[in-house]
Structure 1
């Protein structure tokens, strides 16, 4: 109850900070509903009573329609620009909803909707929307004169990269590119200038993260040349840091996209071997686990059962270790590893075992950020069903994967879907395969 009261107080504080009365908020929400082509709201007096209930001693949660309208109200600065970063009214608004009892999933959805609005607006302002208001001024000054760069500016750039990364699975890849591109360019410009020496390592870490993510997004949007250049940039900057686990992370991301490019298995294997070598001397046991898991997948694809099982054993050893103090705590998990185990079973083991491992992995990958990986794992689960002689059940799984691939625009889920569809060729005249083809054509154009 104390949290709900704090949430109501936060909403009231937001309203008053903007100099708005209850009636003024009601008028603004009615206007926004019209501007956004939402269903018309009740009379202003009725909306005003709702606003008062949200701020009452025993507050009522705004419903989803009002939550969206309030998001647009508090995301927009007085000058009209969208401001979503830490310290903004919008960030405080989402915190207030959380205190009132709204779920993290819903507040994340509201944030994604506003990021979509930023990319709809165009003009390259997406990155500025993700910066805290005070950091925007500092970044402008640093870009004019890199010697004026300070910690807050670098932290602001890091937050942009982290925010974009967190939206994978919630927003289409092309929109994420629009949000990220200014951060990549800003980090380049600062590194090229006379940034204060003590700040260089932290700036370089941001540049590595930005270029790595940009490399993945370029691949996902089918720009392989740009992807290779960005990964080369990330690799170069990571090599200047005394943190081998970051180098391993870049190599692994690059390996995963290389696997599905013209360079294929050989190029991916070279990058994974580099990742394993770097991870072994690094500080992150989870990054080592991820490197060995990827090594196991490539070995299984090549039919090397003993090598695959050895790599999986090393991966489980690191996944089950103590991860307190790990510098990359969110980089890998047992759920991810089960997906790799399933892949190994699919290529060199038992299809039934593979199916069960994929099902376990898909169940564990429930966060919005995991949506792309979950679509990949579920497509692999469908492949296992086909090999088990259950093609119709496989198509039921694949319909869900089509929807996920459409939402994210991810290239790898689409490639995996085409692989699964090829496996269904013996049943191509069945109505349920035709239905899947129609779904693929409607959503993916393939």
Structure 2
């Protein structure tokens, strides 16, 4: 890959080649170690056999591998991403329990927190909720010992989102969001604070707490509008993402027409490959606003596009929201446009 870059290959083509490589490797039954290259494989095997041989170069390779898997979200099925990440998860677990050099422990914990969080998300997406909870617990423990509260806030936010869709009620998700906000406020990342407040606004809106929701949303925009230079977090949370949260807030406690506009603007801006899953979620919320506006036929038309997007990305949240939108179309269940939608939904996502 480095050679191709030096030869002038475009970033787009390099990204396509990486995705093809990941798909080919997982087709053959291989895992992430196959993507690390022989020298790194050898170094990792040596470190697992003798933890005192762990070096900064190997940690950098492991961090890069986790980032590469994260970058494939939306382009590669979640079950394949699980396969790719599994060797790093196991390596982190073994090394954290071993006598590695003290100076490298913080970096190892940081990598472990990122890997466990990502694996927790993948487990949720493949409906392994018990495994997901265990991985998030490990990520919380690893990130909590780093002395950088924003890192644990990131874990709490990811955990809160999957909890929202895997646990009945709002209480469990709200507790995680509140913990994320506390950590984010104590941390140095403005981006993480903005995202935490945005998620807090969504939970409050779902609970019907309008005043709380709008206050949290205002704080999210306040943080988003600040200078982000030197922000320690590498999160891609952007105004486009925040507009999606504005849409959800308006959907529950405001004007559905306003919500529809927010969703449309957000979806139009989420164009990067890594944003495909989020775009599918936002696009699936938009038909809910159309239903509330009394336009079920138009909502069904948009839902056809959402089914295709959810099928391509494999996102569980988009699928859950799709089925909720279909339930909201029950008053029109005898209409042909709803029957066509049902056929498409079953063909693509199952009953």
Global fold match (TM > 0.5): yes
1:134 aligns to 2:39 (yes or no): yes
Structure 1 or 2, whichever has the larger Rg, is 1
1:174 aligns to 2:79 (yes or no): yes
Shift of 1:264: 3.5
- The whole-number CA distance in structure 1 between the counterparts of 2:298 and 2:38 is 51
1:277 aligns to 2:182 (yes or no): yes
Shift of 1:347: 0.2
Equivalent position of 2:111 in the other structure: 206
Shift of 1:160: 1.3
Aligned partner (choices 235, 247, 262) of residue 342 of structure 1: 247
Equivalent position of 1:146 in the other structure: 51
Instruction: Give 1:236-247 correspondences, 5 Å limit.
Output: 236-247=141-152
Equivalent position of 1:260 in the other structure: 165
Are the aligned partners of 1:239 and 1:247 in contact in 2 as well (CA < 8 Å)? yes
- The whole-number CA distance in structure 1 between the counterparts of 2:302 and 2:4 is 38
Quick one: structure 1 residues 321 and 91, their matched pair in 2 at CA, closer, same or farther if it must change by over 3 Å? same
Q: Which has the higher contact order (CA 8 A, sep 6+)?
A: 2
Are the aligned partners of 1:201 and 1:241 in contact in 2 as well (CA < 8 Å)? yes
- 1:163-212: CA deviations, max 9, x gaps? 11111100111110000111110111111111110000001000000000
Equivalent position of 1:326 in the other structure: 231
Are the aligned partners of 1:258 and 1:264 in contact in 2 as well (CA < 8 Å)? no
- The whole-number CA distance in structure 2 between the counterparts of 1:148 and 1:263 is 46
Are the aligned partners of 1:287 and 1:331 in contact in 2 as well (CA < 8 Å)? no
In structure 2, stretches of 5+ residues that fail to align are none
Shift of 1:116: 0.8
Give the number of aligned pairs. 351
User: Normalising by the residue count of structure 2, what TM-score does the alignment of the two structures yield?
Assistant: 0.97
Are the aligned partners of 1:323 and 1:329 in contact in 2 as well (CA < 8 Å)? no
1:120 aligns to 2:27 (yes or no): yes
Are the aligned partners of 1:171 and 1:407 in contact in 2 as well (CA < 8 Å)? no
CA RMSD after TM alignment: 1.3
Are the aligned partners of 1:382 and 1:395 in contact in 2 as well (CA < 8 Å)? yes
Shift of 1:106: 4.1
Aligned partner (choices 327, 335, 343) of residue 438 of structure 1: 343
Equivalent position of 1:60 in the other structure: none
Aligned partner (choices 302, 315, 324) of residue 220 of structure 2: 315
Are the aligned partners of 2:329 and 2:338 in contact in 1 as well (CA < 8 Å)? yes
- The whole-number CA distance in structure 2 between the counterparts of 1:105 and 1:259 is 35
Shift of 1:249: 0.4
Are the aligned partners of 1:260 and 1:412 in contact in 2 as well (CA < 8 Å)? yes
SS in 2 for 1:126: coil
Shift of 1:402: 1.1
In structure 1, stretches of 5+ residues that fail to align are 1-89
Are the aligned partners of 1:299 and 1:307 in contact in 2 as well (CA < 8 Å)? yes
- 1:221-260: CA deviations, max 9, x gaps? 0001000000000011111111100010000000000001
